Structure 1
Amino acid sequence: MKKFFFVIVSVISVSFVNAQTSFGIKGGVNLSTTTGDNSEFFSSAIGAYFGGMAKFPIDSKFSIQTEGMLSFEGAKFSVNGATGKTSATYARFPVLGQYHAGAGFTLQSGPELGLLMGATLKVTNGGSTSIKDAMKSTDFAWAFGVSFVPNKSKVGMSLRYNLGLSNINSDSGPANRTSVWQIGTFITL
């Protein structure tokens, strides 16, 4: 059994080494909000993201893409006459399985870990305060997306939805999750 496991791991490792690993940079716009118990108080806010990526081909149709991104997210809120915006900065690390559908289109899906770097709440016509301690330090999400690269180009476009799976609040109050649409571009180096 150990020999069989070793052979499988060796074959997978050799295929990754022999494959044409590629690296790139990416960035774009976020449209994010908060969903869950208090979702009626929140609406979408615009942010941005940028980072790097590495693609590991498995064969001509499938690949694994890992990314490291800084993502600026948040939501507008309106509660009992008070309005404002929450802002959160995450370091996000998705691991995406990709299916190359043809004609330059790629479908992708996979888990994503988010590490909270900072968070603030700003009240309209008022001050702002840190809410980082009121939020969990990690966020787990599942990403679904599509990308398009014109024939033989190193520049592509992507559209992705990140569905928050974990409660981002650190207290025992309402359970809220992230909901983030991303549209952007990437360049393979």
Structure 2
Amino acid sequence: MKKTVLLVAVALMGFVSNSFAQESWSFGVKGGVNFSTVTGDYFKDPSHRTAFNIGVLAEIPVANRLSIQPEVLYSAQGYDFASIDEDNIFDIDDNIEYQLDYIQVPVLAKVYVTDGLSVQAGPSFNFKVNEEIDYSPTENGGDIELEDQVKDFEIGGAAGLEYKLNSGFFIQGRYTYGFTEVFDGSDAHNSVWQAGIGYQF
């Protein structure tokens, strides 16, 4: 399953790049931090999981101040919930992570409002690649793998700001939201704030 997801993501990136290739298009790499949770009445305000995102992108200019930016990211998401083991007799952390990791494939419209500063927004096609509970997230071990609790595919949206220097380095902030339900028959949706840096060449 994971190999299939990666092949689909890479193929999509290649298709978009070949379809719109111009002399000024560019590739890039990026990485950053995630602050993720799950929203909706299905849960009562779970805490954020702090994790990471990393991936590659392509920027394809299509008009003056307008580009299309497809990306392929590994995004570690999920949420924290408090341990019920108040006396810590099982030697577990103060929180327990429900880890939901995705391969995200956002395809964003990128509008430059001024030199270097851009607004980005568009759909994101997300493929689940990992689902587990970790009762000791600050140490090795503690993982309990789960199967088929969460949907394998999610359609979401992403929007954010980016500032890019002439050198190619950039900093960005973004919010992503899952339009489809995390669990069947629930109103639970992924909600992720992302901040990071990258370089285009």
- Please report the TM-score for the alignment, with normalisation by the length of structure 2: 0.78
Aligned residue runs from structure 1 range 1-189, under 5 A: 16-78=20-82, 81=84, 84-123=96-135, 127-150=142-165, 152-169=166-183, 171-172=184-185, 174-189=186-201
Residue by residue, what CA displacement relative to the aligned partner does 1:104-139 show, whole Å, maximum 9, x if unpaired? 110000000110001111346995422341010011
Gaps of 5+ in 2: 1-18, 86-94
Return the structure number with greater strand share: 1
Deviations 1:43-72 (A, max 9, x none): 111010111000110122101000001111
Q: Find the counterpart in structure 1 of residue 3 from structure 2.
A: none
Q: Distance in 2 between matches of 1:61 and 1:116?
A: 34
Q: Deviations over 1:17-54 (max 9, x none)?
A: 44511101110000000111233151111010111000
**Which is higher, the Rg of structure 1 or of structure 2?**
1
Structure 1 ranges of 4+ moved more than 4 A? 124-127
Alpha-carbon distance change, 117 to 17 in structure 1, aligned in 2, over 3 angstroms: closer
What SS does the aligned partner of 1:134 have? coil
Identity, in percent, stands at 29
Residues 26 and 184, structure 1, Cα contact 8 Å, conserved in 2: yes
Name the TM-score, length of structure 1 as normaliser: 0.83
How many residue pairs end up in the alignment? 172
